[in-house]
Amino acid sequence: MAQWIWGRNYNFLHKMTDETVPSTLLESERRDYEDAGLLLNSPYFSVLREERHIDLIISLDFSEGDPFMTVKETHKLCEELNIPFPEVNVPSEEAKKPKDFYVFKSQNAPTVIHIPLFNVVNCGDNIEAWRNNYGTIQGSYSRKKITDLMDVAGKNISNNREKLKEQIDAVIEQKRQE
């Protein structure tokens, strides 16, 4: 156990003779895995492969700190890698006090609906208190904390139901016209 490295596992593909499996996956006896949240703090890259033909991403942000970090960093990295991703422009006054619904669009890129977990609509002026109460690194949540968190997160969807439908309909309509 003292020799164990987090994310390192036996590679069940090691020494297989299947020509459809890329050779790089067959060579090593062990594979190292890293949580995408730890690596990039971004869930986007698993869906941004070109062959997936992604037109809409609904981003429910639960990041501690900057509620736009994941979309900003994803845009920056996508720009470097020539992967289509929309521009992310957020007014500076909304960085600390975000609204509950953002839509980022660019030509030839998926539409990204971004909903920060803690925002001025569901938390009022208490955003910092909510963030501090639900930090990333802490023990188990009490039943009350879970219930309160589910209530706040649920409001993000129920408060924006019509806006979500409008954006989904707009993406569908755009796809029909192509």
- How confident is residue 138, by pLDDT bands cut at 50, 70 and 90? confident
- How confident is residue 3, by pLDDT bands cut at 50, 70 and 90? low
Paired strand residues for 113: 58, 103
- Domain definitions of the chain by residue range: 51-177
What is the per-residue pLDDT across 91-108, written as a single tens digit (0 to 9) for each?
988 988 999 999 999 989
Please tell me the predicted confidence (pLDDT) of residue 21.
Answer: 79
Cβ neighbours around 69 below 10 Å, total: 15
Cβ neighbours around 109 below 10 Å, total: 19
Please tell me the predicted confidence (pLDDT) of residue 170.
Answer: 96
Tell me: pLDDT of 37 over 80.
no
Please state which of the ranges 42-46, 86-90, 96-100, 165-169 shows the lowest mean pLDDT.
42-46
pTM of the predicted model, to two decimals? 0.77
Spatial contact of 74 and 46, defined as CB atoms under 8 Å apart:
no
